[in-house]
Structure 1
């Protein structure tokens, strides 16, 4: 059983020389079979396992991760938490995710470092302002907080930006969502791993999928670098590797995987703590 984090436990461990902490999650040997297998130990895979256990009482679950928890795409993304989308379907999905984030640290008993400092998407032309107005209207109609900013509004939250009319990208305004912000997504993965493990989910790291066990036209399990593991239900949450694993399983997804390179900067105060450029 993992220690429940609190101010008291932090004080107690400080007095004891930090010697009483338990591992954040269990690292058991894989069993021969489970009720369900989730391939991918990132935020989505771990969240899937956690909610299977918490909401559906399915605790015989294995999360199989090729590397280590928090070492994949989850640890390399842009940290933005937002729900500023146009289409109703996207608003519904990201709106729910946004609300979950707002209570996630308390639910998981793990600080995911959510900082709701707001986010502005800049508009650099009259055409973009028209699109921005439509987006704000769509968000508000669907119950999501949003404001259409003027250049003065943008200047108030991002005074360091170059507001000269001769700037390469002059500011015409922007879309503001005050509830948006940032979170440590690797901490999100660690929090979900810890909470799922407490509910009985097995977190199996350094476990690469090498093939799928297909019997009678149905997937019955996976071959891994740590042996065969069977399950009645198998899900994949492997981001850019989705098409690769789908090919191993013998089917083609209607998507293509592309390598994406991005420069992601840390939130350096006070420059990047109020605006995402």
Structure 2
């Protein structure tokens, strides 16, 4: 996703998030009266105002805004905003990002809504936009390029271009550390991500998911790669996948871990026999935000700890 910023006097001039001019960045600071117009990931042109009261919908957006030093301008967050932990404690909650209420968001009197592109329902998003609240939809693609673009996009919007550029440099340095670690540990174990257990059936991740992307980034092989999206697995299908490791979110808690390790189908896999279950904080693992490279290295090291020497 590229973000384009325009002033009203020079609407034809374009500045991308990878190189927004100093004047454009200064114009996006809180309280600045000079309006800017941007193009979001849906191709919508949105005119920005003061940006003193931001509602952040999506944990990745919230985490990035806090990292950029803009927490004081955030008045509301959704419940996926689990990092930093202060966000949900200090800010008003607008509910789950895919089950939003426009009335709840509008009651906070925001002058800017930043929302991940997969937020919803669509009717609620449309209602917010129709209320003439500047609403910028942020690309949700779970990729390394997506991480960089989200950082640069958000930093450009709030006038923190230098901080955003520094964050990207730090992110790329962490990726180099991850690459070096993987070169020393070339095993590609089969990892199955389980989102939750529904009626005794594990809901596992296939391709086209953030879980698939983070497993690959960590040097693993997604045991569910023959599937598309998330699927509830029957016992025979789970046994056939033969994962070496099962990955879950820590939000599932001990109850979910116990349910997996008591499942006869799981026990018929290397992961079950070796009790190789890894849990990680969900937003860090799947958010594809500033901590993604750190999360991938942590996951790679934990996976390696469950594997027998080649």
Q: With structure 2 as the length reference, what TM-score do the two structures score?
A: 0.23
Q: With structure 1 as the length reference, what TM-score do the two structures score?
A: 0.26
Which structure has the highest helix share of the two?
Answer: 2
Bigger-Rg structure (1/2): 1
Whose relative contact order is higher, 1 or 2, with alpha carbons under 8 Å and at least 6 apart? 1
